[in-house]
Structure 1
Amino acid sequence: MEIEIVTRKENKLLEREEVYFKVKHEGKTPSRKKVRDNLGNLTGGKVVILEYLRPVFGVPEAEGYARIYKSEKKAKEVEAKHIMERNLKKGGGEEKKEEGEKEKADGEKPAEAEGEANADGETSKEGGDTSG
């Protein structure tokens, strides 16, 4: 994987660098984590917030945009909470998947077990016609 910085702009007000880059790779598009790590090493930034990474059709290449901060404190002041969670989470998404499965199991409705209610609010245990 090779990263080429296309545009590099220093934003002194927000104490960050804004970088547009291209990633040349073999096989599938590299993970966001790998790109963040390599960009951090390349630019010397401590916190890399990867806004997007988009593959180029038909070419083993991807284009992206990142914001690079010198400190995590400044990044947390400026960036939205969900962006920080997306970029700084330690796991690989497994934790979120497990939570979703747990909610799905807990979310079963008791009405489904007893039978479904019709338009009049009556419950029927059999699926027959109740309009009778």
Structure 2
Amino acid sequence: MGGLKVEILERRRNPLLSREEVRARLIFDGGTPSRVEVREALARVLGRDVGVVFVRRILTEYGKTEARVLAMVYDRREEALKIEPEHIIRRNEPPPTESGEG
């Protein structure tokens, strides 16, 4: 992906769920970046392992090259797997690679 800039708008600690709720703004070139790309960029900016970052929502307005993101950053991956809905966990995993076709 070309340029992807992340600007953190809000970080709110939720000690009850052992997580930080992060709202951010993305500025990008071309189409909206994939959830996996956004997850990796957020992890890099926050200095956390990508395995504890879960993107809940990416909102892009038609024709704009910026988006608003809501993500949950957990203290431990085990906590995330207990708390996050299954469909959110699946959406945040990289797509399986096609192997053995030829």
TM-score (norm 1): 0.64
Which of 32, 40, 56 in structure 2 is aligned with 1:37?
40
* Residues 16, 68 of structure 1: 8 Å contact kept: yes
Runs of 4+ aligned structure 1 residues displaced above 6 Å come to none
Which deviates further from its counterpart, 75-84 or 31-40? 75-84
Which of 25, 31, 47 in structure 1 is aligned with 2:28?
25
* Residues 56, 63 of structure 1: 8 Å contact kept: no
Alignment RMSD: 1.7
Give the structure 2 partner of residue 50 of structure 1. 55
Give the structure 2 partner of residue 130 of structure 1. none
* Residues 16, 70 of structure 1: 8 Å contact kept: yes
Give the structure 2 partner of residue 100 of structure 1. none
CA distance in 1, matches of 2:67, 2:38: 10
CA distance in 2, matches of 1:45, 1:74: 15
CA distance in 1, matches of 2:93, 2:47: 17
Which of 72, 77, 102 in structure 2 is aligned with 1:67?
72
The amino acid of 1:13's aligned partner reads L
Residue 57 (structure 1) shift: 3.0
Give the structure 2 partner of residue 82 of structure 1. 87
Residue 42 (structure 1) shift: 1.2
Structure with greater Cα Rg = 1
1:7 aligns with 2:10: yes
* Residues 45, 70 of structure 1: 8 Å contact kept: no
Count how many residue pairs are aligned between Structure 1 and Structure 2: 93
* Residues 8, 18 of structure 1: 8 Å contact kept: yes
CA distance in 2, matches of 1:59, 1:65: 18
Which deviates further from its counterpart, 11-20 or 41-50? 41-50
Query: Which of the pair is proportionally richer in strand?
Result: 2
Question: What secondary structure sits across from 2:22 in the alignment?
Answer: strand
TM-score (norm 2): 0.81
